[in-house]
Chains A and B, each alone.
Chain A
Amino acid sequence: MNKILEVDQTRFELLLRLGDNALILGHRLSEWSADAPALEEDIALTNVALDLIGHARLWLAAAGQAEGQGRSEDDLAYLRDVRDWRNLHLVELPNGDFARTMVRQFFFDSYHLLLLEGLACGRDTEIAGIAGKVVKEVRYHLRHSSNWVIRLGDGTEESHARMQQALDDCAPCVPELFEADQIYLDLESLSIVPEIHLLKSEWEHQVSGVLAEATLQMPEILSAHTGGRQGLHSEYLGYILAEMQFLQRAYPGASW
């Protein structure tokens, strides 16, 4: 009995991590709405945002069920405080310029695709089902962000310099992607998630290929921002939640 409860709690944590990454990055991308450098890009970024918010809904609804306390996806999205969020530091990083947004997206998409492909072949049928569905959308995301990294990196002097700066800005968030805590290791031993060392080596291989084509250098990572999965966040997340949760906090249960 206790064993089953532990597995449910572990699944709950995994589902929160997946849902929170999708929701926070989706929210970040939605900030580009009506503000992107070109109309096509405005549409692209908001489409990716919409996909991610859709993913968050699926993951968080499943998280609410795994938890078994009757919380809906909306309760989890709108009524949790900073310390209860499980997303990575990378996704809460502010948009910055378009170069920063694209490098952040490229790092995340590369990780996201590999993780989802692993989950889709994993032993947990519910998680594999959701992963198998959303992975198709994420392939489009990665193609989009990779194309921009190459175009801007191997572009003008200005675009190259901005991309190199963006890599410097995002690189400290990379080690956290491949940090395996006890929860991850437990899920790994249950064959629910892909092995972390394979995820890391495949990510490095794919990212370095695109960066080479973009004539960009992956900076040396001197310090790392970690702890997101344990609820330790940068100050940025608080501002995101203030905006995202305002309505439900001010007018509980509001709907239209």
Chain B
Amino acid sequence: MPMTTQAQVLELLDSVADPEIPTLSINDLGIIRDVEVHGTGQDIHVVITITPTYSGCPATSVIEADIRDVIGRAGIQNVSVKNRLQPAWTTDWITDRGRQRLLEAGISPPACCASHPLPDDTDVVCPYCQSHNTQVLSRFGSAPCKALWRCSDCLEPFDYFKPH
């Protein structure tokens, strides 16, 4: 029976897509805080600690179910998924690969560091023509994490991932 390591579990988790933005894996999203592997063989127990994103985001419970599913298909049935609220999730934890994947999917990644209490979003890039000449249409969008913007050069509307 091969050993299962933390790195292998992390690799499995990389195939779990965010249900709202499937171009991102949950690793890209930066919600995995900790992976513990206890025991070996039949007695293996995996504990995954995640930090949920938005409080009301319906994706949260889907992500939990998908994690169990992916780990289960790798032959590990004993999986616990724990939530850790503190420190709160922030878009600063989205990985560089995640930001790149957002851009490729037509979603502008957060323009500034979220540690500022209420970011001004002054330098939002258009994912289609890379112009920085953009304007906000609505602070709320198709998902809790997104706002609706428009490019003033190519005139395309686009989703903006809000700094949070």
Contact = CB atoms under 8 A, between A and B. Distances in A.
Interface string A94-132: 000000000000000000000000000000010011101
B55 A137 contact: yes
Contacts of A57: 55-56
B73 interface: no
The size bracket of the interface on B is 20 to 34
Nearest to B164: A136
Contacts of B162: 140
Interface in B58-91: 58, 85-90
SS of A interface (majority):
helix
Nearest to B142: A43
Q: Which of B86, B89, B117, B118 has the most C-beta atoms of chain A within 10 angstroms of its own C-beta? A: B86
Given A50-B56, A54-B54, 20 more contacts: A40-B138, A40-B140, A43-B140, A43-B148, A47-B141, A47-B144, A50-B54, A50-B58, A51-B144, A53-B56, A54-B57, A57-B55, A58-B85, A129-B85, A133-B89, A136-B90, A137-B55, A140-B140, A140-B162, A144-B140
B32 to A, nearest CB: 17
A44 B86 contact: no
Interface of B: 54-58, 85-90, 117-118, 137-142, 144, 148, 162, 164
Nearest to A41: B138
Interface in A14-51: 40-41, 43-44, 47-48, 50-51
Given A53-B56, A54-B56, A55-B55, A136 B88 contact: yes
A124 to B, nearest CB: 12
Contacts of A43: 138, 140-142, 148
Contacts, number: 69
Interface of A: 40-41, 43-44, 47-48, 50-55, 57-58, 125, 128-130, 132-134, 136-137, 139-140, 143-144
Nearest to A51: B56
A128 B54 CA distance: 17
What 3 A-B pairs come out closest when comparing CB atoms? A54-B56, A54-B55, A129-B86
A118 to B, nearest CB: 15
B135 to A, nearest CB: 13
A132 B87 CA distance: 8
Given A144-B139, A144-B140, A130 B85 contact: yes
